[in-house]
């Protein structure tokens, strides 16, 4: 699954090449380890690896009736094997052959669900020669091996010698195949799972852990973020790494230092992306806030490391005061194009959110939700820009845009935290954004500026642009009659007032996609301006203090007799 998410990020090639040069000695040691792992044969389950998140028993009962709801699509196998069903959707096939649905059968919990899970595994083994290409992908095989290892206690309990022999042979075959793969983190994790859970020598485990540590050095940045910049991938890795570490500790065996250090670096970074509702920020490819999974990981975090305020390697900044959290993106585009976009929450209530990606993987919605218009940032009218600029100017601008780097600086003082960031939008047009959050968390302000150099295309003057602030569906918004402010009411009746100057304010429709089976209608605050006329826009969210009637009467100014 993680490999499928990472496949979009083509910019990682140069980074991998640079890191790869420093890992050549480790890779030579891995070659020896891979040869050893190919000869490994599991004998018995020795160290169970307990998953952090349980499955859905209702889905488990559906699977027992041979109906699989995967990747947003429900498919029934009827009376035949589900693995012989002709399905064209690659996402559905990837989930089917990844075996993560075993968690739902285990959650259902009865002996008949256990027996049916064993039947499905035997059916899959019998259909090996007719499996689709998706089943043979190395990243899918890695997810499948981890699922088999994770649910081995459930599958092997009360099983006869026939299934146990077949199951151990399957584990050995999957491990042997993955040992041939290069040192990607998914394959390394799966190998570490197998040799940790099943009886193996210390040498086997040592080689598997070294391979995993080398893969983590390649994929995890110094600040603990993932090279993809997708927080969901970071969460997925921790959901696999933390149980592995717990199994090693429970077996009272030495914990690899670099493995533990990598996990301890990743956990504070995961907290960095966490809003007050314990869910992920909907940023750079996140399709689900994943509150339940986040809480499961944090429940195993004993060090409680505090997140940094500026993650320079990952390209994110976090402003947090008085229960208010702001998470902004100033790094290079990866899954989504949202330069200097941010999210804003007050306690457990999200206020300003990006649209997020659809949970069902709809390509139409992914395309729409990946652009700047689906994020809380400034976007140009691209059609008008192409029409205004000549072909030569657009070509020169694209070259400059590729060479530019986004920047971000954060500083915290007695009055709050200030962030300054910048990003090139269209060749010679620079968008700069300053964000400020007061120490009490009741005053969040921003300033967006557009600037051009002397050689910029004069056709950009007069080009319309839009600043968007997408509201969470739970927020009620009302535009004032004079059109100068917007009143925002949260579910707990807390009120915020939004105001801006240097632009035209409007309140229009929007959609919210993250974590929902279908897009949900919501609203967005829209600030409209024109390049050359509105090059500086100031805006502010201010929390309104609650005052009851008695307090208001006591503090009311006395009436004078004139």
pLDDT tens-place string over residues 500-546:
999 999 999 999 999 888 899 999 999 999 998 889 999 999 999 87
Q: What is the pLDDT of residue 237?
A: 97
Q: Element (H or E) spanning 497, and its range?
A: strand 495-501
Confidence of residue 38 (pLDDT cuts 50, 70, 90): low
Identify the pLDDT of residue 102. 98
Mean local confidence (pLDDT), 217-229 = 95
> What tokens appear for 46 in the block?
């020795």
pLDDT (0 to 100) of residue 453: 66
DSSP one-letter code for 405:
-
> What does the pLDDT read at residue 39?
65
Confidence of residue 363 (pLDDT cuts 50, 70, 90): confident
For the chain, what is the mean pLDDT?
86
**SS3 of residue 235 by DSSP:** helix
Integer Cα distance of 76 and 132 in angstroms: 18
d(CA 153, CA 238): 22
Partner residues linked to 325 by β-bridges: 320, 345
Backbone phi and psi for residue 405, each to the nearest 5 degrees, phi listed first: -125, 140
Q: How far is CA 228 from the centre of its chain?
A: 9
Per-residue pLDDT band for 422 (boundaries 50, 70, 90) equals confident
For residues 367-384, average pLDDT? 85
Q: What is the pLDDT of residues 431-490, one digit of tens each?
A: 999 999 999 999 999 999 998 765 556 667 888 999 999 999 999 999 999 999 999 999
Question: What is the side-by-side order of every strand in the sheet holding 316-321?
Answer: 310-311, 316-321, 324-329, 342-346, 349-352
- Domain limits, the chain: 325-462+511-520+532-549
CA 201 to chain centre: 36
> Which of 87 and 513 is assigned the larger pLDDT?
513
Q: How many other C-beta atoms lie within 10 A of the C-beta of residue 390? A: 11
Q: Which two tokens stand for residue 181?
A: 């793969």
- pLDDT value at residue 37: 57
CA distance 523 to 475: 9
pTM, 2 dp: 0.87
**What pLDDT is recorded for position 392?**
36
Three-state secondary structure string covering 506-544: EEEEEEECCCCCCCEEEEEEEEEEECCCCCEEEEEEEEC
C-alpha span between 79 and 99 (Å, rounded):
20
In 3D space, the residue among 310, 253, 316, 251 whose CA is nearest the CA of residue 281 turns out to be: 316
Report whether 378 contacts 448 (CB < 8 A): yes
- What's the rounded mean pLDDT across residues 84-100? 93
CA–CA separation, 48 and 33 (whole Å): 23
């Amino acid at each position: 699954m993680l490999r499928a998410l990472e496949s979009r990020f083509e910019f990682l090639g140069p980074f991998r090449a640079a890191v790869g040069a420093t890992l050549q000695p480790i890779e030579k040691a891995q070659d020896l380890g891979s040869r050893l792992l190919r000869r490994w044969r599991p004998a018995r389950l020795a160290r169970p690896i307990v998953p952090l998140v349980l499955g859905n028993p209702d889905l488990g009962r559906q699977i027992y009736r041979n109906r699989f709801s995967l990747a947003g699509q429900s498919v029934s196998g009827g009376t035949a094997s589900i693995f012989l069903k002709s399905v064209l959707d690659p996402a559905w096939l990837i989930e089917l052959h990844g075996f993560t649905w075993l968690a739902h059968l285990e959650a259902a919990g009865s002996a008949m669900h256990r027996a049916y899970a064993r039947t499905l595994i035997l059916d899959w083994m019998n259909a090996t020669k007719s499996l689709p290409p998706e089943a043979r992908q190395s990243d899918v095989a890695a997810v499948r091996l981890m699922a088999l290892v994770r649910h081995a206690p459930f599958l092997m309990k009360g099983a006869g010698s026939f299934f146990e022999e077949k199951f151990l042979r399957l584990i050995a075959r999957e491990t042997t195949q993955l040992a041939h793969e290069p040192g990607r983190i998914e394959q390394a994790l799966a190998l570490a799972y197998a040799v940790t859970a099943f009886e193996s020598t210390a040498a086997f485990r040592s080689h598997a852990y070294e391979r995993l540590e080398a893969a983590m050095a390649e994929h995890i940045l110094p600040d603990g973020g993932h090279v993809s910049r997708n927080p969901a991938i970071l969460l997925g890795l921790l959901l696999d790494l933390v149980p592995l570490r717990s199994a090693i500790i429970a077996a009272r065996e030495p914990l690899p230092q670099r493995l533990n250090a990598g996990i301890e670096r990743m956990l504070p970074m995961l907290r960095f992306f966490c809003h007050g509702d314990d869910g992920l920020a909907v940023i750079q490819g996140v399709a689900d806030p994943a509150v339940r999974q986040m809480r499961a990981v944090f429940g195993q975090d004993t060090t409680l490391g505090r997140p940094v305020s500026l993650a320079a390697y990952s390209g994110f900044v976090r402003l947090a005061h008085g229960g208010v959290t702001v998470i902004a993106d100033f790094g290079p585009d990866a899954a989504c194009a949202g330069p200097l976009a941010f999210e804003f929450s007050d306690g457990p209530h999200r206020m300003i959110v990006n649209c997020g990606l659809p949970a069902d993987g709809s390509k139409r919605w992914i395309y729409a939700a990946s652009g700047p218009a689906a994020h809380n940032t400034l976007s140009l009218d691209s059609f008008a820009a192409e029409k205004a600029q000549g072909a030569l100017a657009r070509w020169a601008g694209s070259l400059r845009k590729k060479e530019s780097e986004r920047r971000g600086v954060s500083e915290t003082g007695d009055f709050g935290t200030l962030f300054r960031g910048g990003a090139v939008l269209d060749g010679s047009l620079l968008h700069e954004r300053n964000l400020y959050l007061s120490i009490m968390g009741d005053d969040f302000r921003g300033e967006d500026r557009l600037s051009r150099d002397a050689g910029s295309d004069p056709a950009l003057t007069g080009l319309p642009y839009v600043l968007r602030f997408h509201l969470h569906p739970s927020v009620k918004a009302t535009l004032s009659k004079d059109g100068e402010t917007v009143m925002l009411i949260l579910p707990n009746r807390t009120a915020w007032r939004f105001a801006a100057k240097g632009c035209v304010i409007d309140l229009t429709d929007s959609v919210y996609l993250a974590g929902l089976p279908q897009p949900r209608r919501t609203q967005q605050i829209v600030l409209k301006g024109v390049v050359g006329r509105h090059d500086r826009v100031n805006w502010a969210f201010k929390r309104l203090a609650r005052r009851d009637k008695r307090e208001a009467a006591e503090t009311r100014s006395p009436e004078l007799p004139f």
